[in-house]
Amino acid sequence: MRLRRYTLVALALCTLPAGALAQTLFNAGGLGAPIEPLNARVRGVGGVGPGMFDAMLLPGEPGAAIDLVVPTITFSMQPVWGAYSIGDSRGDLQATRFPVVGLSYPLGINSIVMLTFGGVFDQRWAVTQNSEAVIGGQNVGAEDRFVSDGGVSALRVGWVQRLTAGFGVGISVGTYTGQVTRTFTRTFDTLAVANPITDFTEQGRWQFSGPLATVSGVWDPLDIVRVAATVAWSGDLKAEPVGMTDGVARKFDMPLEVRVGASALLSPGLSIHAGYSTADWSSTGEGFEGVNTTGKATSVGVGIEWEFAQFWAGPLPLRLGYRKTGLPFQLDDEDPVETVFSVGWSFTLAQVGTIPLAGFDFALEFGNRDAGALSEDFRRLTVTFSLAGG
């Protein structure tokens, strides 16, 4: 039993599914759907790159924690509701991603160390399809269910240092981790035959590993402007069969990703943000059979934030954003694209001066994905909780 075999079976099942439990059925292709940094502030303004004014813990963006001068813990979660269509078939989507967790501690006024853990590729989904099998010359109803549970995550340690009043750098190193279990089960309608038929089940499990590193730069040329850039490097992502799983270990050549972003303050309480990211996935597809990549995948995002009132212990911002993201693995020889409009807001529960000590950030996204015969419409809620102090 091989990883590629499960992928091909999944794509075959996706042609006429009866129901799905997933954030997206595009997870069935290749390594799954990439998980962008889960932070409600960034999601609310359509962010795809660094460069926001607010200090925050963001996996893969060590520069985002610059000026985070108090010990901080943060975590995020992200439920999704939606619907998909494949030709004449329709169904619902629903799932929740594992939270992202981050910890930071200041070494001084200008230096911060951090630890983050979060998803990189999401492969959690399930598809069910009704079918028939001929047994003893008799048509017997059956239900086929394919379940993929797990994904690829990253554990990172990082450090960010403000070198001058207007410039800082951040670095992080880490490792890929995580497991994926894929199970195919066929259940027969035993009422239609004289003797019960045993269910058929086949399962495989893979463990992921590999090194990764990130370098960020943050530049404030003016008090009202911030520009930032991040280069994210990855070594080979290794997928190794676990236990009795049939198959051989595989390596995937992960791309170098470049992300840039900028923010500008238009007036007190009103700012804009724009970001861009790009990565070439061409070499990654060489680790698969029957799965094609889109080549260079890019993302762009723009948004606005307006602190229009005070609520509870701090400002009440309203965020609006737009983002267009290319996914790395093709479906029906077409490039999947995700388009999202977002709205976000925050509640500060406790604050000392200008430093928030506890609060929630929310982002609600309305989006769609399209490629080949598969189309999805979804609503995605991101909730981030931060607690600071010492």
Helix (H) or strand (E) holding 341: strand 337-352
Q: How far apart, in whole angstroms, are the C-alpha atoms of residue 257 and residue 271?
A: 26
* Confidence (pLDDT) at 5: 46
Which residues of the chain have a pLDDT value below 70? 1-22, 136, 192-194, 390
* Confidence (pLDDT) at 300: 97
CATH number at residue 136: 2.40.160.60
The predicted-structure confidence for 349-372, as pLDDT tens digits, reads as follows 999 888 899 999 999 999 999 988
* Confidence (pLDDT) at 4: 46
Cα separation values, 354 from 68, 70, 167, Å: 12, 12, 21
The predicted-structure confidence for 219-278, as pLDDT tens digits, reads as follows 999 999 999 999 999 999 999 999 888 888 889 999 999 999 999 999 999 999 999 999
Q: How far apart, in whole angstroms, are the C-alpha atoms of residue 274 and residue 295?
A: 23
- The strand ranges marked E within 189-332 are 200-222, 225-234, 237-241, 250-252, 257-267, 270-280, 296-311, 314-326
CB 279 within 8 A of CB 256: yes
DSSP labels for 356-390? EEEEEEEEEEEEEEEETTEEEEEEEEEEEEEEE--
* Confidence (pLDDT) at 12: 43
Identify the three-state secondary structure at position 7: helix
* Confidence (pLDDT) at 20: 59
Helix (H) or strand (E) holding 167: strand 167-177
Range of the domain at 273: 3-388
What domain count does the chain have? 1
Residue 234 has phi, psi (to 5 degrees) of -135, 140
